[in-house]
Amino acid sequence: MVNMGVKILLVAFALIGAFVPVAFSLVATPESPEAAVTIESSAGTFVAKYPGAKSLNSVDCAGEYALKCADCRNIAVCAGEKAPLAIKSCSNFNPAKPYCVNGACSSTVAPDTGVCAAEFRCSSEGYFPHPNDCSKYYFCDKVNGNAYEYSCGENRVYLSRQKSCTNRTNETECETINCQDSPNSFVHYGPHLAYYAFCSSEAGRKETVVYKCPDEDTSEFDMETLSCVYRCPAEGRHFNPSSCASFYECYRSGLEYQAIRWSCPMGFHYNTLLQRCEPGPCQAA
């Protein structure tokens, strides 16, 4: 099913690639085709799509031959039928004109709306919670890469620790990122402190960029130093996930743990079983 849909799209965009530059007097650079349809996963629960992609039936062309804005970032190519022939992101044609205003790509957002919701930016690879909707999450294939949006479904919520969805009950939290009170500053994502966001707010353009600490299980974002710091899971010595030639020693200090980072001597690595530095390269750990 999925392969079929993608094939149809490839054909659709091959056609569009030839048609749109003429209609727009814009030069389209070669690009990888973008999915404009919703892809159902085998589980049937999740719905994946590319950022900014709209399903073709989300725009009513009303039989016209025209270019129409599908939303503030995407433009639809109408060719005499109800559904458009294709929907493309304006930024694909010209990054300097990422917005759609009155059926044309523009460098500024429509004056009547003023704010255009940002597409999800991939700050790193992996899973990210949706900043405003606890029933959704993203998968990023690489830094600055494609973000695939997934939906947990109705009455379900995404759990960032488990990286899975669960039924929503009175006990489950619906975590989102609250940028309302923190313009142009960092905020944490709920109680999972390895996830944080920057709330950008400039001249009508609001954007929430979600980040995560490289090791999300053992680190958290520290608001004072604006960096990811190691978080002790318990007292004692612990393997350092970001460098096997070092370890953390955690001790209690009041109600909290303090961590001291120790480096092994040159040519040694930390052995988790023996809880000490042993000669040899990291692979031996």
**Strand partners of residue 79:** 65
Which of residues 121 and 156 has its CB atom nearest to ligand NAG in the complex? 156
The least distance separating ligand NAG from the CB of residue 155, rounded to whole angstroms, comes to 7
Distance CA 168, CA 116 (A): 30
Which of residues 166 and 275 has its CB atom nearest to ligand NAG in the complex? 166
Which of residues 49 and 156 has its CB atom nearest to ligand NAG in the complex? 156
170 forms part of the interface with ligand NAG (CB under 6 A): yes
The least distance separating ligand NAG from the CB of residue 154, rounded to whole angstroms, comes to 9
**Helix or strand (DSSP H, E) at 262:** strand 256-263
The least distance separating ligand NAG from the CB of residue 170, rounded to whole angstroms, comes to 4
Count the residues in the chain.
Answer: 285
Which of residues 24 and 46 has its CB atom nearest to ligand NAG in the complex? 46
For residue 156, the SS3 value is: strand
Among residues 45, 132, 167, 263, which is the contact residue for ligand NAG, using CB under 6 A? 167
How many chain residues touch ligand NAG (CB under 6 A)?
4
The least distance separating ligand NAG from the CB of residue 61, rounded to whole angstroms, comes to 37
Distance CA 124, CA 180 (A): 24
- Name the token pair of 7: 């094939």
- The secondary structure of residue 161, as a DSSP letter, is T
Which of residues 168 and 188 has its CB atom nearest to ligand NAG in the complex? 168
Residues near 139 by beta carbon (within 8 Å), at least 6 away in sequence: 48, 126, 127, 128, 147, 148, 150
Q: Per CB under 6 A, which region of 57-65, 125-133, 138-146, 163-171 contacts ligand NAG?
A: 163-171
162 forms part of the interface with ligand NAG (CB under 6 A): no
Which of residues 32 and 169 has its CB atom nearest to ligand NAG in the complex? 169
Task: Answer yes or no: are the C-beta atoms of 128 and 120 closer than 8 Å.
Answer: yes
Q: Per CB under 6 A, which region of 24-32, 137-145, 168-176, 197-205 contacts ligand NAG?
A: 168-176
**How far from the centroid of its chain's Cα atoms is residue 150's Cα?**
10
Q: Per CB under 6 A, which region of 40-48, 94-102, 167-175, 193-201 contacts ligand NAG?
A: 167-175
Distance CA 104, CA 75 (A): 7
On the 0-12 / 13-18 / 19+ scale of CB atoms within 10 A, 255 is: exposed
- Name the token pair of 185: 């500053």
Which of residues 170 and 180 has its CB atom nearest to ligand NAG in the complex? 170
Distance CA 58, CA 76 (A): 10
Which of residues 163 and 168 has its CB atom nearest to ligand NAG in the complex? 168
- Name the token pair of 55: 């399903």
188 forms part of the interface with ligand NAG (CB under 6 A): no
The least distance separating ligand NAG from the CB of residue 190, rounded to whole angstroms, comes to 17
- The secondary structure of residue 49, as a DSSP letter, is B
169 forms part of the interface with ligand NAG (CB under 6 A): yes
32 forms part of the interface with ligand NAG (CB under 6 A): no
168 forms part of the interface with ligand NAG (CB under 6 A): yes
Task: Answer yes or no: are the C-beta atoms of 230 and 205 closer than 8 Å.
Answer: no
User: Which residues form the interface with ligand NAG (CB under 6 A)?
Assistant: 167-170
